[in-house]
Amino acid sequence: GAGVSQSPRYKVTKRGQDVALRCDPISGHVSLYWYRQALGQGPEFLTYFNYEAQQDKSGLPNDRFSAERPEGSISTLTIQRTEQRDSAMYRCASSKRQGRNTEAFFGQGTRLTVV
Amino acid sequence: DAKTTQPNSMESNEEEPVHLPCNHSTISGTDYIHWYRQLPSQGPEYVIHGLTSNVNNRMASLAIAEDRKSSTLILHRATLRDAAVYYCICSNSGYALNFGKGTSLLVTP
């Protein structure tokens, strides 16, 4: 596709339910990132993939959060046993190559609301 | 990654140049300086990045101080569409971008 695509755009779930958020990066992009953004704040890093390998997951808040990118393209961020504090905008980004000298392209995000 | 300091907000008139400052006094030799912006209800959008030399692209210019402890994003002619939060980020990893709070730019007609 033309840009990074995330689905669903909006998700309302009950506390305790599991949710899976999907990210479809720009075709051919090697690196994929997940961020979380609270209202009025800048995005906060969660995790990062190069191809299918999860290179850094230090930003995941706790073990209820996990992510995968099994074929090096589409990625899924899963939150188990959701809590109200998980409510936020979840943003995915991708870049053509890895490293510092590159630009990231962000998707429109998934707005998660836990009730 | 080095911490960055930006003004909370700035205001500009339409069609005038805008200089958005950023201090990063603890920047390391390998940190790139990245600028992203976020329009209301949109995802962050890449603007420009550089290491040591000044950089120009179709969106903006990046002026980097000789000691690299500060930089300035220059929008040559602000439009209403440039109203956004602008984030200055110093990154060694290239992926764990620390966005901070950014500068909220208001452009008035």
Q: How far apart are the first and last CA of chain B?
A: 37
What is the per-residue pLDDT for A98? 84
Among B75, B65, B92, CA closest to B14: B75
What is the per-residue pLDDT for A99? 81
Residue B71 distance to chain A (closest CA, Å): 17
Residue B25 distance to chain A (closest CA, Å): 19
**B92 exposed, middle or buried (CB, 10 Å; 0-12, 13-18, 19+)?**
middle
pLDDT at residue B93 tops 80: no
Q: CB distance B94–A101 less than 8 Å? A: yes
**What average pLDDT does the structure give for chain B?**
94
What is the per-residue pLDDT for A100? 80
Which of A39, A103, A111 to mutate against chain B (most B CBs within 10 Å)? A103
Residue B74 distance to chain A (closest CA, Å): 18
Span B61-78, average pLDDT: 97
Span B18-28, average pLDDT: 95
pLDDT at residue B52 tops 90: yes
Among A24, A21, A75, A78, CA closest to A49: A75
Chain B residues whose beta carbon lies within 8 Å of the beta carbon of residue A55: 95
Tokens linked to B107: 């452009």
What is the per-residue pLDDT for B1? 77
What is residue B13's three-state secondary structure? strand
pLDDT in tens, A21-34: 999 999 999 999 99
